[in-house]
Chains A and B, each alone.
Chain A
């Protein structure tokens, strides 16, 4: 890999919410965090590639500020830093909690009905904080069905803020709870798609590096989809096939006689089916 555009870091699964659509089943019961060797591993890769954009998610990144700052303190350059937060700590303790991040250039507020935090004061608080500190701000909204876009539009209009939306895949808790985007028909065009994460990486606490950030790493399967050693990971069949072959080609390669269902119209769902079968 010559270039890495973006690294997404999951420092652990601890979260102050346990959302029904959470892609990696985070929640309050988890207390896992990056070990010293994992931090060194991340720092080495960031320094080696001078990755420009680093995003911290989770779990909830505001519960991992010390760990995140530990990474920053070891970097030999200054990346552009973003967090994706549910904002609960901002509601409870005030936006000054965000001052504790050594670097912070962008806040993405994960806000939708599936979080169970229906408090629009949160949006205003973070927006005010971002304007005051000249920090980027947007809302990320998970869509279970298209009519959720009515709310997306209302949020954009009411708060004059960018709201980006995504369809919920059958990853993690979403797969178990059924809170995911549903289709009536299998849209075959997905068979011609290729995973777009060729130059993006995710580090998952306790697992290691992967370009996958959804079903294949968060739903239990028998394939090796992560590796603590980045150089070994990019030589893995999973990585090579995933970024070079279409979903249809992967499906043929795996020879599993896969039957795609309507919900496999989303590439992450189809990818899992192509690699792992029904």
Chain B
């Protein structure tokens, strides 16, 4: 399970190096590891983009992009 969780954390954009993710996972209890892996394996969260830096800590670019697809003909 540990290796699966490490891969999932990297895929989710939390870390880019295996050793960073491994140390993090090692410090979690087994129950949390299970819960986290279950959450990360959820299809929705995989699709959920990380916030682009374009709007920084206030977020928003991907959300905007998604909305663009449905954009109505405005004015």
Contacts and interface: CB of A to CB of B under 8 A. Distances in A.
Contact of A150 (B13, B24, B35): B35
A80 B9 CA distance: 33
B64 A185 contact: no
A5 B64 CA distance: 11
A189 interface: yes
A197 B48 CA distance: 21
Interface string A55-89: 10110000000000000000001101010100000
Contacts of A123: none
A250 interface: no
B56 A149 contact: no
* Chain A, interface residues (CB within 8 Å), range: 35 or more
B54 A105 contact: no
A154 B36 CA distance: 11
- By DSSP majority rule, is chain A's interface helix, strand, loop, or mixed? mixed
B45 A152 contact: yes
Nearest to A169: B57
B48 A164 contact: yes
- By DSSP majority rule, is chain B's interface helix, strand, loop, or mixed? helix
Contact of A105 (B13, B40, B67): B67
A265 to B, nearest CB: 7
Nearest to A77: B75
Contacts of A166: 50-51, 57, 59
Interface string A146-184: 110110111011000011111111011010000000011
B53 A168 contact: no
Interface string A76-114: 011010101000000000000000000001101010000
A212 B57 CA distance: 11
A116 interface: no
Nearest to B26: A184
Interface string B45-65: 100111111111111111110
B58 A184 contact: no
Most B Cβ at <10 Å: residue of A165, A167, A171: A165
A267 interface: yes
B17 A187 contact: yes
B1 interface: no
Given A110-B59, A185-B23, A187-B17, A164 B53 contact: no
A106 B63 CA distance: 8
A42 interface: no
Interface stretch (A134-142, A227-235, A253-261): A134-142
A106 B28 CA distance: 37
Contact of B19 (A143, A145, A185): A185
7 contacts: A84-B59, A105-B74, A136-B67, A140-B63, A153-B42, A165-B48, A169-B56
Interface of A: 5-6, 8, 21-24, 53, 55, 57-58, 77-78, 80, 82, 84, 105-106, 108, 110, 134, 136, 138, 140, 142-143, 145-147, 149-150, 152-154, 156-157, 162-169, 171-172, 174, 183-185, 187, 189-190, 195-197, 200, 202, 212-214, 265, 267-268
